[in-house]
Amino acid sequence: MTAASQLQLTPIPEQKFVFPISLRWEQFKTLEELFDYTRSIRLAYLDGEVEIMTISTDHETFKCLLAGLLIIFFVEKDISFTPTGSATLQAEERGSSKEPDLSYRFGEERRQRNRPDLVIEIVFTSGTVKKLEYYRRFDVPEVWFWEDGVFTVYLLQESGYEQVTASQVLPELDLNLLAQCLQMSEEKEAMKFFRNAIGTA
């Protein structure tokens, strides 16, 4: 057995830190370059405040499973979509930079839009309400948060985001069913169960 095969990898816990001082946009971009090749760390910027977050294995597992379940739904329901993943929403004039967990564009004109129709955040740390401000700056119509086994949906209105009981972007999707499948211990069985459930709905 080689030394490499004996190496024990320590999972990185999900943590969030706020940079102790306010940064100008140019300073933030310099800091961003320093973390450019560190995929387990994300930076977010809002009006000078910089948030640094480490991304855990559990977080990425949930994200990948959720993306897989949603693709099943889009295909089964014949929904035209473009996955834009964790593409960063960033603009100096808006004073904001944020990398979502998942994002999507829908409809025939989706390739002409430069912002997603739906953003999804998987929350293992606090800060749900504040995260909405990042997406308001880019006029994202709908934001979902998955936290503690439950989806919360926010719809953009003139006054800001309003919590609603169902998705307006994907009105046919049963979010309770989706949350149930995310809690299943076997990913393959979760995807089979979800596909069968939406096929008979």
Position 82 scores a pLDDT of 95
What's CA 94's distance to the chain center, in Å? 20
Determine which helix (DSSP H) or strand (DSSP E) holds 8, and give its type and residue range.
none
Q: What is the CATH number of domain 57-200?
A: 3.90.1570.20
The residues facing 96 across adjacent strands are 46, 91
Q: In this predicted structure, what is the pLDDT of residue 4? A: 47
Q: Are 121 and 100 in contact (CB under 8 A)?
A: yes
d(CA 10, CA 155) in angstroms, rounded, equals 39
Stretches where the chain sits below pLDDT 70 are 1-13, 126-129, 201
pTM: 0.88
- The string of pLDDT tens digits covering residues 121-177 is 998 776 556 789 999 999 999 999 999 899 999 999 999 999 999 999 999 999 999
C-alpha 37/C-alpha 25 separation (Å) is: 20
In contact, 95 and 154? CB cutoff 8 Å: no
| Per-domain residue ranges of the chain | 57-200
**Whole-number pLDDT of residue 11:** 56
Residue 108: predicted pLDDT: 82
- Per-residue pLDDT, 9: 47
Identity of the amino acid at 5: S
